[in-house]
Amino acid sequence: MLNKVEDNVYEVPQGYQKGMRVPGRIFISDDLLDMVEPGTIEQVANVATLPGIVKYSMAMPDAHLGYGFPIGGVAAFREEGGVISPGGVGFDINCGVRLLRSELDVGTVRPLISDLIETLFREIPSGVGATSRLHVSDRELTDAFLGGSGWAVEQGFGTRKDVEHCEEQGCLKGADPAQVSLKARKRGRPQFGTLGSGNHFLEIQRVSEIYDSEAAKRFGLFLGQVTVMIHCGSRGAGHQICTDHLGVLSGAVRKYGIELPDKQLACAPIGTPEAKNYFGAMACAANYAWANRQIISHWTREVFGKLLGEGEMPLVYDVAHNVAKVEEHQVDGKRERLYVHRKGATRSFGPSRPEVPASYSGIGQPLLIPGSMGTPSYVLCGQDRALELTFGSACHGSGRIMSRTQAKKTFRGTDIKKALQDEGIKVVATEPAILAEEAPGVYKPSRQVVDVVHNLGIARKVAQLVPLGVSKG
């Protein structure tokens, strides 16, 4: 049913499903396509039915079954006649990744790795039921919703330089705290400054390979260097904001007479009160997530400072994986303001975009692609070709291929821990079962996924990072 357009590009024809306004495009290799469930292709087709969608409903090479959009889904909507949908963002609004770099060599850190990862596990609350060391007031929570990373820096969690190295400078404009319910505040407050559980993690890594020495140098990366990757999102605040607005937007679908193939694609026409309110609340959650990662970075630096005398650890970059944003793109020769939804996808802006921080000008923004626990993570840089092909987007991870129940049947957490330990990777987690669910074998090989975006020219490989120590919630 899919048409191969060229290497790594497949088209979901407009006739695949009733009501598709545009075709679908899946950017994937032949090998990876074999791992994609039919439901995922159906979800790409479902997104193509939404009003005002531009060019294609897209999926990145890590695509897998989601709800509403597939995971790895990207779609852009016209300001005029388009919609905004929480189905294209997800519940964990601005789940994202950031990378801190040290000046330390792996040889210095390895003897201390157990102490280091256990201290990080203790100092940075993670797992279900973990509550934060922070006790923010209602007013402070509002300021965090409005200010994101910048707010956290003003409170003493980091430096101004950190803010420059965040996508959107760590603050999505248009946040409207009045659209955040009391429930979302109640869920978000005790979890502000916590890592979360599931696939969220904090990982100590070493740079194991450099592919592009010029870009690596500009990003401050060198072979054998120790880095820290933090993967988390907007916690209960984001989950509740999405839940609340999904209800409102379900009503909007009826009110504006929009036909949907999937209730999770509930949406409202851009410019309507329902759409504005959702966007204002979603921006609050995105900013909460940026502040959260900023606070966790600060605590990470404190631990490295205390144990290794290495407290600076500059931020390489921070990328959002689940977000809808207003961006300008070229469409049919004209500059247009579009609402770009990325659900399990990363922005990949090349050198021509003004959003790329000054320190990386001429190179492109860094992309951070986490692997699973035992597999490598990658740093890439954005390429201008992504603007032509994917509205400046690329993959966000490796993508699941095995269900959690199947993973628990196949793997035992204690075996996974031992196998990783034998490879020199120290893992701490609240429960062994979490390790089984997140075992390396449940994800696609991360190398194959990044090779697709590299070969397509939508992002370029810069460095490979392998884990030394992992803290899982």
From the list 2, 82, 20, 90, the residue with the least C-alpha distance to 56 is 20
Q: Kindly tell me which residue out of 48, 56, 92, 459 binds other proteins, with binding defined by CB under 8 A.
A: 92
Q: Kindly tell me which residue out of 114, 131, 352, 359 binds other proteins, with binding defined by CB under 8 A.
A: 131
- By CB under 8 A, tell whether 365 contacts other proteins: no
Minimal distance in Å, beta carbon 103 to other proteins? Answer: 35
Binding segment for other proteins (CB under 8 A), chosen from 25-33, 127-135, 294-302, 306-314, is 127-135
In the complex with other proteins, the residue whose CB is nearer, 196 or 392, is: 196
In the complex with other proteins, the residue whose CB is nearer, 91 or 151, is: 91
d(CA 238, CA 331): 32
- By CB under 8 A, tell whether 403 contacts other proteins: yes
Q: Which of 200, 245, 396, 454 is the catalytic position?
A: 396
Q: Considering only residues 430-459, where is the footprint of other proteins by CB under 8 A?
A: 430-431, 433-434, 437
Please tell me the count of residues contacting other proteins according to CB under 8 A. Answer: 48
Contact track, other proteins, 49-88, x by CB under 8 A? ---------------xxxxx--x-----------------
In the complex with other proteins, the residue whose CB is nearer, 143 or 437, is: 437
- By CB under 8 A, tell whether 404 contacts other proteins: yes
Q: Kindly tell me which residue out of 1, 128, 133, 255 binds other proteins, with binding defined by CB under 8 A.
A: 128
In the complex with other proteins, the residue whose CB is nearer, 89 or 100, is: 89
- By CB under 8 A, tell whether 219 contacts other proteins: no
d(CA 339, CA 361): 25
Among this protein's residues, is 239 annotated catalytic? Answer: no
Q: Considering only residues 240-269, where is the footprint of other proteins by CB under 8 A?
A: 240, 242-243, 246-247, 250, 262-264, 266
Residue type, 174: G
- By CB under 8 A, tell whether 236 contacts other proteins: yes
Contact track, other proteins, 322-361, x by CB under 8 A? ----------------------------------------
Contact track, other proteins, 158-197, x by CB under 8 A? -------------------------x--xx--xx----xx
Return residues touching other proteins (CB under 8 A): 37, 64-68, 71, 90-92, 127-131, 183, 186-187, 190-191, 196-198, 236, 239-240, 242-243, 246-247, 250, 262-264, 266, 400-406, 408, 430-431, 433-434, 437
What amino acid positions are annotated as catalytic residues?
396
